[in-house]
Amino acid sequence: MFFYNFEAFTSPCELQIEIADKTLSDSVAHAIYTNAKRLENEYGFFKRSSQLTLLNNRTQNRQIVSDELAGLIHLSLFYSDKTEGTFDIAVAGTLKEASFASTLQEYNKKIDKLLPFASSTHLKINENEVIFSNNFTKIDLGGLVKEYAVDASIRMLKNAGVSSALVNFGGDVAAYGTYNSSLWCVGVQNPDMNEQNLCEVTLNENALCTSGHSKRFYQIETERKSHIISAKPKYYSQISM
């Protein structure tokens, strides 16, 4: 078993690869790392030259995007529909501007201004053309692109002939095969007691996605705000101290 660690999508990432040939293992691990960094640079919300930043900072509300970005947006809108808007790339993308506020008063003022535009109902996509109904709606693929990268990593591993592996990109985990002749076992950490797990989940040819307030948040005055942004931010985005 070969182990690799790196950072992508502002998260710690790890690979566990079971294969006899270390040279082949190193090669596929490098390909996975390279692809993860490519996706981070192409679709990172805060990457100045990313496709996503160019789309969000548009001067016109009709934009032609790449095949890959179009595919990600189509997929996002599909999941938004299936979850009845619980997953919505336009919520975090639009409301994230409020995270730069220096006071709670400024934060709430920005939220009130942007909330009417924080919905993917304000955009549609026809093949590769994205059409926005206004200048304020933005999108954030942070809730999707890591999982997309994990899926791509699993395909690379299988194509390389790896019989067993685990991919973990910041809590988004996929695995197949076995570890020491048993199914892969993934622990979900207790945010209040890091040395304990809330539960353990076995994985084989499937995935587990997690996201924690305890690991990613920002603070404005006395309030801690979660990186998970809801369409009802005044209720959901504050974390108890």
Check if the beta carbon of residue 5 is closer than 8 Å to that of residue 12: yes
Q: Could you read off the pLDDT of 91-144 as tens digits, one per residue? A: 888 988 877 777 878 878 888 899 999 999 999 999 999 999 999 999 999 889
Angle between helices 22-43 and 145-159 (to 10 degrees): 160
Which position has the higher pLDDT, 192 or 204?
204
User: What is the pTM (predicted TM-score) of this model?
Assistant: 0.84
Q: How many CB atoms lie within 10 A of CB 181?
A: 5
- Please indicate whether residue 4 or residue 45 has the higher confidence score (pLDDT): 4
For 17-73, what is each residue's pLDDT tens digit? 999 999 999 999 999 999 999 999 999 988 988 999 999 999 999 999 999 999 999
Contact 114, 95 (CB under 8 A): yes
Binning pLDDT at 50, 70 and 90, where does residue 215 land?
low
* Span 149-163, average pLDDT: 97
- Contact status, residue 52 vs residue 44, Cβ threshold 8 Å: yes
> Using an 8 Å Cβ cutoff, are 92 and 143 in contact?
yes
| Domain definitions of the chain by residue range | 2-43+145-209, 58-141
Instruction: Tell me the C-alpha distance between 143 and 157, whole Å.
Output: 23
Q: Which residue has the higher pLDDT, 150 or 237?
A: 150
Residue 146 pLDDT:
92
CATH for 2-43+145-209, options being 3.30.565.10, 3.40.50.300, 3.10.520.10, 3.20.20.450? 3.10.520.10
CA dihedral 56, 62, 67, 68 (to 10 degrees): 20
Looking at 3.90.650.10, 1.10.3980.10, 1.10.10.10, 3.30.1330.10, the CATH number of the domain 58-141 comes to 1.10.3980.10
Relative to beta strand 62-64, strand 123-126 is unpaired
Q: Which two tokens stand for residue 95?
A: 């409301």
| Percent above pLDDT 90 for the chain | 58
